[in-house]
Amino acid sequence: MRDPALLPKAHLHVHLESTVRWDTLRELGRANGVAVPDRPAGFTGFRQFADHNSLVRHCLVRPADFTRVAREFCHDEAAQGTRYAEVTFTAASHGERLGAPEMPLEAVLEGLALGQAETGLRCRVLLDHSRRRSVRRAWRTLHLATRYDEVAGIGMAGEESYPLEPFADVLDAARDAGVALVHHAGEACGADSIREAIHTGHAQRIGHGIRVLDDPALTAEIRDRGIALEVCPSSNVLLGFAASPDAHPLAHMRAAGLAVTVNTDIPAIAGTTLTDEYALVRDTFGYDDHDLAALARTAVQACFADEQTKRDLHHGIDAWLAAPAADTSVHNGSDITVR
């Protein structure tokens, strides 16, 4: 089998705040007066996940903090064969918390620009907004998205039991402005949350969507409309939305003809990388290299990159499949390097 680390990949669902290296977090904590405990042996469930997110937020204070984690994100992604990423960032929340509405996003964009120049990674940003938070802040998120070209879209995240209807005007305005819409849905709640994300939220992709098979009619609609699903196996298991990798519905979703992509969601918390996730689905579901390449192609087709970037990624996937397993090649967007 070919090395999945060398497969050129597009990463569509990953939260910047959940990618921060532990050593970086401790250094930022010391600089900003936040006590960061020793790294736990493992995370167990949603409570630890929420507590860790809170810790990260308190450690991100200065522009340099945001720039550093964004730059390191690029290096970590490039090291695992990611060639294009759409990283999610809760910009308006950080801006409100720090009393500097534009600073966190501008600092992140600076870090991404540095990281891309150093690694060759291509990257865009998605801005998320918690369903539990105010409509006013959602409008602020949309404002930021329309102001910065590096932002591809916005999306609703957080507790799915909170409906999207209060945000309908914001989501209508985003659609009309040509801002891409990608919502978390069908993870904690059932198929109705996915249906709401499509019809009220105008979703072009669905974050997670693992409950889609609960409703055959919805499954058919998602398939026929070609709406891609950003599936994050290790995260789903860690947070209790799938009992185990074997019990994860990813293989059944693909068998139903759905456009499934593989992602990490919260890699620093789940202790995973995008390469690890590809290896996990290969080993769990008996996938071969052609299956992994097909998953990678689905992510390329579903991403918000320009057409030249998509062509480069497809050429890289072709090269990965064409090379013998012993000397798999990876396409960096302009040339082929043989290991």
Question: Which pTM does this prediction carry?
Answer: 0.94
Residue 77 has pLDDT above 80, yes or no: yes
Number of domains in the chain: 1
DSSP 3-state of 148 = coil
DSSP conformational letter for 333: S
Tell me whether residue 33 is in a domain. Answer: yes
What are the pLDDT digits (tens) for 159-214? 999 999 999 999 999 999 999 999 999 999 999 999 999 999 999 999 999 999 99
Averaged over 232-242, what is the pLDDT?
95
pLDDT: is 85 or 49 the higher one?
Answer: 85
What are the pLDDT digits (tens) for 65-76? 999 999 999 999
Tell me whether residue 167 is in a domain. Answer: yes
Tell me whether residue 327 is in a domain. Answer: no
What are the pLDDT digits (tens) for 256-307? 999 999 999 999 999 999 999 999 999 999 999 999 999 999 999 999 999 9
Confidence of residue 118 (pLDDT cuts 50, 70, 90): very high
**pLDDT for residue 44:** 73
**pLDDT for residue 134:** 97
Confidence of residue 331 (pLDDT cuts 50, 70, 90): very low
For the chain, the maximum distance between any two Cα atoms, rounded to a whole number of angstroms, is 55
Q: Write the DSSP string, 29-68.
A: HHHTT---PPPPS---SHHHHHHHHHHHHHH--SHHHHHH
Crossing angle for the helix pair 135-147 and 91-98, nearest 10 degrees? 110
**pLDDT for residue 262:** 98
Domain holding 249: CATH number? 3.20.20.140
Tell me whether residue 186 is in a domain. Answer: yes
Residue 104 has pLDDT above 50, yes or no: yes
Range(s) of the domain holding residue 282: 4-322
**215 CB neighbour count, 10 Å cutoff:** 17
Residue 337 has pLDDT above 70, yes or no: no
Tell me whether residue 335 is in a domain. Answer: no
**pLDDT for residue 51:** 84
**pLDDT for residue 339:** 24
Confidence of residue 40 (pLDDT cuts 50, 70, 90): confident
Tell me whether residue 84 is in a domain. Answer: yes
Share of the chain above pLDDT 90, in %: 90
**pLDDT for residue 327:** 55
Q: In the chain, how many H helices and how many E strands?
A: 15, 10
120 touches 139 (CB < 8 A): no
Residue 233 has pLDDT above 50, yes or no: yes
Residue 334 has pLDDT above 60, yes or no: no
Distance CA(329)–CA(320), nearest Å, equals: 5
Tell me whether residue 93 is in a domain. Answer: yes
Averaged over 312-334, what is the pLDDT?
77
Nearest to 187, CA basis, from 201, 197, 177: 197
236 touches 242 (CB < 8 A): yes
**pLDDT for residue 41:** 67
**pLDDT for residue 326:** 63
Tell me whether residue 278 is in a domain. Answer: yes
DSSP 3-state of 82 = strand
Mean pLDDT of the chain: 94
